[in-house]
Amino acid sequence: MSSLVAGSGSTVPLLAVDDLHVEFATRDGLVRAVNGVSFELRAGETIAILGESGSGKSVTAQAIMGILPTPPARITAGSIRLEGRELVGLRERDYRGVRGRQIAMIFQDALSSLNPVTCVGEQIAEMFRIHDGAGHGAAKAAAIEVMERVRIPGAARRYGDYPHQFSGGMRQRIMIAMMIALKPQVLIADEPTTALDVTVQSQIMDLLAELKTEHNMGLILITHDLGVVADVAQHITVMYAGRTMEQGPVDDIYSRPANPYTRGLLESIPNLEAKTGRLPAIQGLPPNLLRIPPGCPYNPRCPLAQEICTHEPAPALLQVEGSHHSACHFAQEVRSYGIHRAVQG
Amino acid sequence: MASTEPSRAESSGSILRVRDLVKNYPIMRGVVFKKQVGTVSAVDGVSFDLAPGQTLALVGESGCGKSTVGRLLVGLERPTSGSVVVDGVDLATLSPKQLLEKRRDIQIILQDPYTSLDPRMTVSSIIGEPFEIHPKSLPQGRTKRQAVAELMDRVGLNPEFLSRYPHQFSGGQRQRIGIARALALRPKIIVADEPVSALDVSIQAQVMNLLMDLRDDFGLSYVFISHDVSVVRQIADEIAVMYLGRVAELGSADQLIARPNHPYTQALLSAVPLPDPIVQRTRERITLGGDLPSPADPPAGCRFHTRCFKAQAICAAEQPVLRPVDGAHVAACHFPEPMYDLAGGGSAR
């Protein structure tokens, strides 16, 4: 265990995930949920992991948090380093010092993540009592302070209210309050706004961005929604069937995707600006993770698939330009097409 | 499918007329001696018309009453007051037997393909169930099995899977089962309540395309209920924006999105995340403060005034009615005023 590199200089990333592999042993066989995912996160940076259900995005997040159910899950290869310190293989006792204090995570469904029979103020105060050893009075004061920080109106008055007495947006704020209570360095938000209405979504995204800047946190957004992260994340990683399909700066990927899957996703999003009639949908279904097709996992659905895509092993992530990488045999060609979001009526 | 006739134009314009629809739910307290202590006003005076072959979308956030309207239309709930007129017949005037008959004309597709299908029924019995209730609807000279196989084929499911169970299908396929079931009786109107919200992006587009094809092939009319304006944009001819049980704005989809007049519509459109980082960073956004008020205690006057960025004294006092802002485009606001380019800053030509 290498002791931390002093003074978090910009050379060592805050969080570095390298070639992560996670498998689940199921009755029907081995599920390779995450298959060689790598990315880096720096302080003050926001990255997004994009993917549909079954892409492995949430499993990646759980692996970082050290909350994978083991068994059946197992990290079979790769490393997760927080400021240079290896987290894979860390004993549960030591992980407890990391979770909450250094890495925290908010979930999609705040109602099922909060304890329904304890008032919300208590749940937040508990963080301070357990992790900081604060006394009751101090913990309560600190809890009210973070509740104010996430702009819960009448925080002191609502300290004793229960989760069901709050709206969806307010509950998500309470989750955020709990998670930022100990000022973690990394905040993982797994579909933080998916269950919320759009007008509330933007409030929550704004709040997250603000807190990130204020605490100089690294923020990882896990989502299926290409719209939500467009202006928030600097870098994105697109996952499919446990693999990284494409990775790079958000502007570059959205305007010139270098992977047919990313392009398919971008093109299949309905356009608010214009009625385009039929949508250019991606054909077929995501693969069953027990039977990932040989070659590139996307090949059965890919409109550009050639023989090489089924016969060769899955393509590695190769540089397209700068930090933009794509795992496609035809990355440069795909990139040169650009995307065609239909705009004509 | 020989004769699909989308033109049933003579029938006085609309296939569905909804007038002043109201639905209140009592709030009860007490275990033994139940007592009504309040009322949740879920739908409060909703009116609209739907022309044959057209799609009207009900758009709004959770709690706006859009799904309740859908349930009222197909008779899953009874309205407190107001009328639903299907193809010239007011549903309230029918006997239970006549009502059952009439309901063949208006069917529903539900949001969640996981809970809306009975896990113990085979696909064939799910899709074929409408024929049990309405045996006369079985197409001439076909067995139930044949009819079901044809429906499955039509919605893009392999008819060989007739005797499988819902859990053997993916989310998108299950939604197709729900669509086939709704189509079985050859309805004139389909109410689709968030039909693609539970699906992955890549599957959403497939199901949307199917719904558009079916509309064109069978001359269906849709009431399309959704919270997602971008999805609605692709299928709707007209859009009604709802807020706390009332229609805030109604107009043709093109007009309403290009020139929204109601502050709520404006906020809603400006909050839709667009998959374009550059547009997204530069576009004008209206962030609403606060949360949706409780429908058990809706604000007086305009129900939106507690969150409105334009609210004046009159808004808290007087309920605005739907007034024309531009032809058939109406808005319920004391200070309607068009805003432009909220859907992405006019980056498209």
**Which amino acid is present at A259?**
N
pLDDT of residue B346: 46
**Dihedral sign of CA atoms A212, A218, A221, A222 in order:** negative
Q: Which residues of B touch A199 (CB under 8 A)?
A: 61, 267-268, 271, 287-288
Helix (H, G, I), strand (E, B) or coil at A240: strand
Contact B42, B23 (CB under 8 A): yes
Q: Give the pLDDT of residue B344.
A: 67
B291 located within any domain: yes
Sheet of A235-240: strand order equals A103-106, A186-190, A218-223, A46-50, A235-240, A243-249, A324-326, A318-321
Who among A227, A273, A343 is closest to B273 (CB)? A227
Residue in A167, A224, A281 closest to B209 by CB: A281
Q: Which two tokens stand for residue B259?
A: 């020139």
Inter-chain Cβ pairs, chain A and chain B, closer than 8 A: 137
Residue at B182 is within a domain:
no
pLDDT of A341 reads 56
Q: How many domains does chain B have?
A: 1
Q: Which domains does chain A have, with CATH numbers?
A: 15-238 (3.40.50.300), 257-337 (no CATH)
Using DSSP's 3-state secondary structure scheme, residue B325 falls into strand
Q: Which pLDDT belongs to residue A7?
A: 43
Query: What Cα–Cα distance (Å) separates residue A217 from each residue in A127, A142, A186?
Result: 19, 20, 6
pLDDT at position A2 is: 41
User: What residues of B are in contact with residue A280 (Cβ under 8 Å)?
Assistant: 205
Long-range (24+ apart) CB contacts under 8 A made by B247-250 are B247/B46, B247/B47, B247/B48, B247/B322, B247/B332, B248/B304, B248/B331, B248/B332, B248/B333, B249/B329, B249/B330, B249/B331, B249/B332, B249/B333, B250/B48, B250/B322, B250/B329, B250/B330, B250/B331
Contact between A63 and A57 (Cβ < 8 Å): no
Q: How far is CA B248 from the centre of its chain?
A: 15
A3-47: pLDDT as tens digits: 444 444 457 899 999 999 999 998 888 899 999 999 999 999 999
Distance from CA of A267 to the nearest CA of B (A): 9
A197·B276 Cβ contact <8 A = no
Residue A121's pLDDT is: 92
DSSP B83-124: EEEETTEEGGGS-HHHHHHHGGGEEEE-S-TTTSS-TTS-HH
Nearest chain B CA: its distance from A52 CA (Å): 6
Q: Which residue from A81, A65, A54, A15 is spatially nearest to A242, judged by alpha carbons? A: A54
- Note whether A281 contacts B233, CB cutoff 8 Å: no
Q: Which of A194, A212, A195 is nearest to A150 (CA)?
A: A212
Asked, for residue B102, whether it belongs to a domain, the answer is no
B208 within some domain: no
Q: What is the DSSP letter of A261?
A: H
| Contact by Cβ (8 Å): A278, A294 | no
Pairing of strands A85-86, A318-321: unpaired
Residues of chain A in contact with residue B348, where contact means CB-CB under 8 angstroms, are: 273-274, 343
Establish if B231 touches chain A: CB-CB under 8 angstroms.
yes
Contacts of residue B267 in chain A, CB cutoff 8 Å?
199
The two three-digit tokens of residue A115, written as one number = 């304890």
**CA distances to A1, B200, B222, B278 from B117, in Å:** 53, 19, 21, 42
Cα dihedral B208/B212/B215/B217 (nearest 10): -120
Instruction: Work out the number of other CB atoms within 10 angstroms of the CB of residue B81.
Output: 12
Q: Is the pLDDT of residue A273 over 90?
A: no
Output the pLDDT for position A345.
31
Does B210 fall in a domain? no
Task: Give, to the nearest 10 degrees, the angle between helix B171-183 and helix B144-154.
Answer: 130
Q: Which domain holds residue B290?
A: 259-349
Nearest-by-Cβ selection for A230 from B202, B280, B348: B280
Tokens 């709004």 -> residue:
B60
Dump the DSSP string for B221-245.
EEEEEES-HHHHHHH-SEEEEEETT
Angle between helices B123-133 and B144-154 (to 10 degrees): 120
Please list the residues that pair with A104 across neighbouring strands: A187
Residue of A nearest to B237 (CA): A275
Rounded distance, CA B275 to CA A254, Å? 7
pLDDT band with cut points at 50, 70 and 90 for residue A292: confident
Extract the residue ranges of chain B whose pLDDT is less than 70: 1-12, 344-349
In this model, does residue A268 exceed pLDDT 70?
A: yes
> Considering all CA atoms of chain A, what is the largest pairwise distance in Å, rounded to the nearest integer?
68
Tokens for B195? 């039909």
Angle subtended at Cα A47 by Cα A42 and Cα A53, rounded to the nearest 5 degrees = 140
On whether the CB atoms of residues A153 and A174 are closer than 8 A, the answer is no
Residues A260/A240, Cβ–Cβ less than 8 Å: no
Q: Which of residues 282-301 of B touch A (CB under 8 A)?
A: 285, 287-288, 290-292
Mutation target vs B (from A50, A167, A197, A221; most B CBs, 10 A cutoff): A197
3-class SS letters over B267-279: HHHHHCCCCCHHH
Look up residue A16 and give its two tokens.
Answer: 């570095």
Helices (H), A216-330: 226-229, 250-255, 260-268, 307-311
Question: In percent, how much of chain A has pLDDT > 90?
Answer: 47
Could you read off the pLDDT of A79-132 as tens digits, one per residue?
Answer: 999 999 999 988 889 998 898 889 999 888 777 888 999 999 999 999 899 888
Q: What is the number of H-type helices and E-type strands within chain A?
A: 13, 12
Q: In the predicted model, is pLDDT for residue A299 greater than 50? A: yes
Please report residues of B whose CB lies closer than 8 A to that of A167. Answer: 291-292
B274, B342, B347, B349, best to mutate vs chain A, most A CBs in 10 Å:
B274
Q: How far is B298 from chain A (nearest CA, A)?
A: 15
The model's pLDDT over A144-165, given as tens digits with 9 standing for 90+, comes to: 998 988 888 888 999 999 998 8
First to last CA, chain B: 40
> What is chain B's Cα-based Rg?
21
Q: Which amino acid is at A43?
A: A
Choose among B61, B253, B343: nearest Cβ to A199: B61
Give the Cβ contact number of residue B220 at 10 Å.
Answer: 25
- B318 within some domain: yes
Residues of chain B in contact with residue A251, where contact means CB-CB under 8 angstroms, are: 277-278
User: Measured on CA atoms in the order A271, A277, A281, A284, is the torsion positive or negative?
Assistant: positive
CA R_g for chain A: 21
Give a yes or no: residue B319 inside a domain: yes
Task: Give the nearest chain B residue to A261 (CA atoms).
Answer: B202
ipTM, two decimals: 0.79
Q: Whole-angstrom Cα distance, residue B219 to residue A105?
A: 49
Q: Which residues of A touch B281 (CB under 8 A)?
A: 231
CB-CB under 8 Å, B292 with A197: yes
**Does residue B277 lie within any of the structural domains?**
yes
Q: How far is A95 from chain B (nearest CA, A)?
A: 33
pLDDT at B82: 95
Determine whether the interchain pair A272/B273 forms a contact, defined as Cβ–Cβ distance below 8 Å: no
Q: pLDDT tens digit string along A215-265?
A: 899 999 999 888 888 888 999 999 999 999 999 999 999 989 999 999 999
For A86, the enclosing helix (H) or strand (E) is strand A85-86
Cα–Cα distances in Å, from A242 out to A32, A60, A245, A281, B14? Answer: 7, 9, 9, 21, 50
User: How does DSSP assign B131-194, residue by residue?
Assistant: HHH-GGGSPTT--HHHHHHHHHHHTT--GGGTT--GGGS-HHHHHHHHHHHHHTT--SEEEEES
pLDDT attached to residue B264: 95
User: Could you tell me which chain B residue has the CA closest to the CA of A284?
Assistant: B203
* Per-residue pLDDT, B11: 42
Distances, alpha carbon A39 to alpha carbons A100, A223, A302, B3, in Å: 21, 16, 25, 57
